[in-house]
Amino acid sequence: MTEDRYQKAESGNLPSAARHLASVLPPLLLEAERVASAVRQGVHGRRRAGAGESFWQFRRYATGDAAQRIDWRQSARSDKLFVREREWEAAQTAYLWADASGSMRYASRKDIPQKIERARVLMLALADLLLRGGEKVTWLAREPIAVAGKGGLERIAARFDEQQDKNLPPALPFARHAHMILCSDFLMESGDLRDLMRRHAALNLKGALVHVLDPAERDLPFAGRIEMRGFENEAPLLLANAGVLREAYRARMEEHRARLRQYAQSAGWFYIAHTTDTQPGQALLQIYEALAADRQGL
């Protein structure tokens, strides 16, 4: 038995790859808008802070805030410093990235999407929510693109083909105190991800690791003799009895997830796990609420 449902786009044939991309973009956009709409109906709109005159809220003082913005009366009520925010002041950039490397193009069953499709739907839906709320969104592709307004989703989707075979987001001069959402299976060198998170933490970037897995990767439900084929030029691996390895595999996968949680926690980020056999709305709501919690200094 061979477990090989991986179907890779024709990366060596640009016209074919372009036609493939054009065929899948409309469904992806429609699905993203549907998911975003469902979440939007269940979430109260957040007022935006900015350079206006109206008081919006107090928030915790952060490194880089001017001392004259500290509200000493509010700060005197606790052992923490607070600053006053006015409407429109806190509009921030959100950097979004969906892994497009080979391992993301896997689906163990025909009735569930490939991981890359789910990651893109989640990030497009999140971009929809943020753009409708007046946020700034930067899509991390080979050439990053900053978008605003309702036309932003189409511009992001049009850049999907620029992310082939990249399992880490590009290194850029990111804005400090911004948000970053990284959506991936994180099947990469753990040291590379650890170093990336340290660099982001040094910039006071906040955000989330959204860990997307196929249910077969979570559970290893296979039994008997199986040939496992790699997605990124790895040599095939023949297992004489996959079922014997199930418990050891699950333990290793939990170690992987625990490592990701640790990296996220050390940077002050959120870790959000999602499997492609579940609805994307719940994961999107978790991401959105994580951003809201960061914005409110919780």
Contact 211, 257 (CB under 8 A): yes
Distance between CA atoms of residues 215 and 107, nearest Å: 9
Q: Is the dihedral of CA 181, 187, 189, 194 positive or negative?
A: positive
Which of 209, 154, 151 is closest to 180 using CA atoms?
Answer: 209
Edge-to-edge strand order for the sheet containing 136-139? 145-147, 136-139, 93-98, 179-184, 206-213, 270-275
Contact 145, 156 (CB under 8 A): yes
The residues, any chain, with a CB within 8 Å of residue 233's CB and separated by 6 or more, are none
Distance between CA atoms of residues 291 and 85, nearest Å: 17
**Burial (0-12, 13-18, 19+ Cβ within 10 Å), 27:** exposed
Mind listing the pLDDT tens digit for each residue in 144-197?
888 887 678 888 888 776 655 567 888 888 887 789 999 999 998 888 899 999
Instruction: Report the DSSP beta bridge partners of residue 166.
Output: none
What does the pLDDT read at residue 295? 62
Choice between 169 and 293, residue whose per-residue pLDDT is larger: 169
Which of 127-131, 171-175, 190-194, 275-279 has the weakest average pLDDT?
A: 171-175
- Tell me whether strands 82-88 and 270-275 are parallel, antiparallel or unpaired: unpaired
Distance between CA atoms of residues 197 and 187, nearest Å: 15
| Segment 1-27 mean pLDDT | 45
| Segment 276-298 mean pLDDT | 82
| Segment 5-19 mean pLDDT | 40
Distance between CA atoms of residues 127 and 287, nearest Å: 11
What does the pLDDT read at residue 171? 80
Hey, what domains does the chain have and what are their CATH numbers?
2-46+91-295 (3.40.50), 52-87 (no CATH)
Mind listing the pLDDT tens digit for each residue in 207-230?
999 999 999 999 989 888 888 877
**Burial (0-12, 13-18, 19+ Cβ within 10 Å), 171:** exposed
Mind listing the pLDDT tens digit for each residue in 31-65?
888 888 877 766 644 444 444 444 456 678 777 66
